[in-house]
Structures are given as structure tokens and as C-alpha cells.
Amino acid sequence: MNLQRLRRAALAMTGAVALLLGFAGPGHAAADVVLRDLATAKGKYIGVAATASELNISSYASIAGTQFNSATPGNEMKWESVEPTRGTYNWTGGDNLVGFAQAHTMQVRGHTLVWHSQLPSWLTSGTFTNDELHALMIKHVTDEVTHFKGKITHWDVVNEPLNEDGTFRQSLWYNQLGSSYIADALRAARAADPAAKLYINDYNTDGTGAKSDGMYNLAKSLLAQGVPLDGIGFQGHLIVGSVPSTIQANLQRFADLGLDVAVTELDIRMVLPATDAELAQQKADFKAVVSACVAVSRCVGVTVWGLTDATSWIPGVFPGQGAATPYDENYQPKPAYYGIAEALGWTGTVPAAGCTVTYGVNQWNTGFTANVTVKNTGGSAVGGWTYPAGQKVTQAWNATVTQSGTAVTATNLSYNGTISAGGTQSFGFNATWSGSNPAPTGFTLNGTACAAG
């Protein structure tokens, strides 16, 4: 039985079983890996998106604030969030994100001022003359950029203005104001905060192609008109194994126009359940994207759109897909995390597994005592394992141990619920046996297969 099958078997049984060993706590990568330090050494930033609810998750916040040095609000600076009622601003979510970033010495990408989506209904269902709509847009841009003046390093002023063929997207803005809304929004943003770098941001422009050509022509034309455009954001919502081979060349051609470029919303999704092969490919994919940025001197940084698979937007929008971020659902760094690190110059050894398990047994005619030591070699821990038929757990210590058929799960007690990086926790149990008394196989911890220790 290969490792993947063992893991699946153990996971499947964990749900049905009574003995679960759960050690919770934020994950830690190999102690020497700090993405933000690596990025800084390359002259880049490494960013992470966070919604207000994600920031309330302690593991999310602690990893975001230590591993990343740029933050983008997932939703809190969008029009529907800041001005749900006409003329009444709610800056709370945006201010909280900014406060979090400042407390952790992170810069902030403002996202986003003029977009066709996540607009308040008073705006989308209202009737406005072209002049009124233009004035509303300018006021919104001016008020929001002014509110955050001095606190935002980069603004996604205009988001997703293009169709897949590179033409302008039909939107509230384009339909009534024509393509000049883009230049006007940029000018208003510049007037409100001359220090912020102003971007147009879009998806499916990461490699060369019709949409990217449309963006290229738009950028060129705006620059020719003297419009204050500083950079182009490439969202990077990608599919595993499908990173465009032209990504570096594409970033470079925009840089050659005299613009900064950034990867602003990187995630790389796959059909679930993720296999080890797909996670390995995803590592290579994250590495390829970040490497493209590293190779382009005017690429200022890369932002991942979500820290963890636990809260990513992907499964909700692409049913059956997910696993798109650098950390798994238990906040453990995935191979993708190390792909980012490697692209940023890290040369360490990727931990082979999150855990090792040592299983010792002391047996007599029909009974035995087992002692289990779980070592965390990559993060925090939860475990379950298959248990040979004929064995029956009767008593346990230092864990709640339960059994269903041949599957056994152990759950931590209140005093031993965390395994520090490199640390161990041990528990034991008494059991009966008949036939033979082999060691169990298929140990998992947080869904990750554990090597035998």
C-alpha cells in the first residue's frame, strides 16, 4: 500500500472512529524559513489577502503577521463594504486591516476602488445621469483614497476592466462613462494621495494572449496620455499544472513600458481531493510564478489570495476544487509554501513529513500496553491510524483513545493539545489482542501521513 492510500484510508476512518489524537495550534514552517525576510532580501514584498473574519482567526493572523510583509483586504475596501448606504462610510474593516498591518510592519495594497462587482445596491439599482455617475465615482475614489492617505502603498484603482478578448468589459462604468472612466479614476486617486502607486488589476492576463494584449494596449495608451498609472496587477488565479509559460516575458513587457508589475492574487487550484503529485506540481507552480517576479526587476512583489485552504474562496466558487493556497486546512505549510521560499532564495531541505510516530508495545498472553510518541517534524498535530483486527483498546492515558472496528483515533487532553515544532507528545493505552499483535500502520497527523519514528 503506498503512502497516499494509507493516508486516505486513515483519514476515511478517522471520521468514523472514536480515538482521535488532536494537537492543535498554529503551524510553523521549518524554523529558518521566513518568507518576508527572503522576499526583502530579493527586493520584493510577499503579501497575503485577509478578510475581517480571517483576521479574527488567531492562526491566520499570527502566520500572516510573521511570514508576510504586505496585506490586502479581501473585501473590506470594496465599494459595498465602505459605502453600503449612499453618503455613509464604514471604514471599520479597512481600518482594522491597516491597523493589523501597521502592528506587524506590513505594507497595504488597497483593493479596490472602481470595479463592476461588489457594488452597493443603491449604486447598481439607482438611475444616474452620466454626469452624476461620473461625479459619484470621482467622489468615491477621492474620499476613500483620502481616508487611507499615507497608509496604502499601492491601490488597485481599477479592477478587471477587460473582457477575455481584450476589449473593454461591459460594466456600469464603461457602459455609461466609456473607457475614459479608467483615466479619470486614476487621476482622482493621484490627486488624493500622490504617494500611492496606482494600478490596474485583472485576471487571465498573467501570460501573453488576447486579454493581456488588451491590457498592454490600454497601459500604453494611458501612459501616452500622461495618465498617472504606476503599475499593472496580475491576479494569478491559476490552475495546477497550467502556469502560463510566458508569465515572465509578459511581466517584462509591461515593465518595459516603464511600469511596475505585481502578482496580486495568487492561488493555484486543483480538483479535490488533492494528491501528493498535485501538491508537488503546485509547489513547482508557485515557485514558477514567484520566480518570474524575482526575475523581473520591476516586479515589486507577490500576494497570495488567502493564506490557507481552510478559508479560501475557491471551493465556494469552483465546486469540487480547492487546495489552492500555501497552507493546508490545519495551517500547516504545504509544499507550495516551500516553492515560494525556494523562489525567494531559500535553499533548505523541505521537511519530508509533518510527523513521526514511535509505537512501542509490551505484551503478555492476551493483553498489552502500547506507548505512542508523536513527534512534530513540521507543525501541530492530529492523528488517527488503522488498528489491526483482533486488538481492542480498553484504557488510555494522556489522550482520549477511541476505536471503531480496526480504526483508532486519539485526541489530546486539555494539557497536551500542542506539539511545538520539533517537540513530542506521548500517550499510551492498554488493549487486548488475539491471533497476532502487529504494530498498527497508516498513522496520520492533521491528515498528513506520519513516518515511523
Residues that bind ligand 9MR (CB under 6 A): 51, 74-75, 117-118, 159, 203, 235, 265, 313
- Is 76 considered catalytic here? no
202 membership: H or E segment, kind and range: strand 197-202
Q: What are the angstrom distances between the C-alpha of 174 and each of 129, 130, 241, 249, 303?
A: 13, 11, 34, 30, 28
Give 60 or 427: the residue with its C-beta nearer to ligand 9MR. Answer: 60
Closest residue (Cβ) to ligand 9MR?
A: 313
**Ranges of H-type helices in 72-129:** 79-82, 92-103, 121-124
C-alpha cell at 300: 515589486
- Is 160 considered catalytic here? yes
How far apart (Å, rounded) are the C-alpha atoms in residues 175 and 162?
A: 13
> Parallel, antiparallel, or unpaired for β 231-234 and 237-239?
unpaired
Closest CB 360 distance from ligand 9MR, rounded Å: 47
Give 242 or 362: the residue with its C-beta nearer to ligand 9MR. Answer: 242
Give 267 or 328: the residue with its C-beta nearer to ligand 9MR. Answer: 267
- Of 54, 76, 83, 265, which is the active-site residue? 265
- Of 54, 83, 144, 160, which is the active-site residue? 160
CA of residue 363 relative to chain centroid, distance:
47
Closest CB 32 distance from ligand 9MR, rounded Å: 31
How far apart (Å, rounded) are the C-alpha atoms in residues 33 and 49?
A: 20
How far apart (Å, rounded) are the C-alpha atoms in residues 19 and 392?
A: 12
Give 58 or 118: the residue with its C-beta nearer to ligand 9MR. Answer: 118
Query: 77 with 110: CB under 8 angstroms?
Result: yes
C-alpha cell at 355: 510527523
How far apart (Å, rounded) are the C-alpha atoms in residues 56 and 127?
A: 38
Give 203 or 338: the residue with its C-beta nearer to ligand 9MR. Answer: 203
Closest CB 235 distance from ligand 9MR, rounded Å: 5
Give 148 or 203: the residue with its C-beta nearer to ligand 9MR. Answer: 203
Query: Which residue in this structure is represented by grid cell 508523536?
Result: 374
Query: 176 with 130: CB under 8 angstroms?
Result: yes
Query: 309 with 360: CB under 8 angstroms?
Result: no
Nearest in space to 230 (alpha carbons), one of 202, 187, 259: 259
C-alpha cell at 411: 485526541
Closest CB 399 distance from ligand 9MR, rounded Å: 37
What count of other Cβ atoms lies within 10 Å of the Cβ of residue 324? 27
What count of other Cβ atoms lies within 10 Å of the Cβ of residue 117? 12
Give 59 or 159: the residue with its C-beta nearer to ligand 9MR. Answer: 159
Closest CB 204 distance from ligand 9MR, rounded Å: 11
How far apart (Å, rounded) are the C-alpha atoms in residues 304 and 268?
A: 10
Closest CB 75 distance from ligand 9MR, rounded Å: 5
Closest CB 416 distance from ligand 9MR, rounded Å: 36
C-alpha cell at 323: 487546495
**Ranges of H-type helices in 112-226:** 121-124, 130-147, 172-177, 180-192, 210-224
Give 147 or 237: the residue with its C-beta nearer to ligand 9MR. Answer: 237
Closest CB 234 distance from ligand 9MR, rounded Å: 11
Closest CB 287 distance from ligand 9MR, rounded Å: 22
C-alpha cell at 102: 501597521
Q: What are the angstrom distances between the C-alpha of 114 and each of 163, 179, 336, 390, 411?
A: 16, 12, 32, 65, 49
Give 75 or 107: the residue with its C-beta nearer to ligand 9MR. Answer: 75
Query: 143 with 187: CB under 8 angstroms?
Result: no
How far apart (Å, rounded) are the C-alpha atoms in residues 164 and 153?
A: 29
Catalytic residues: 160, 265
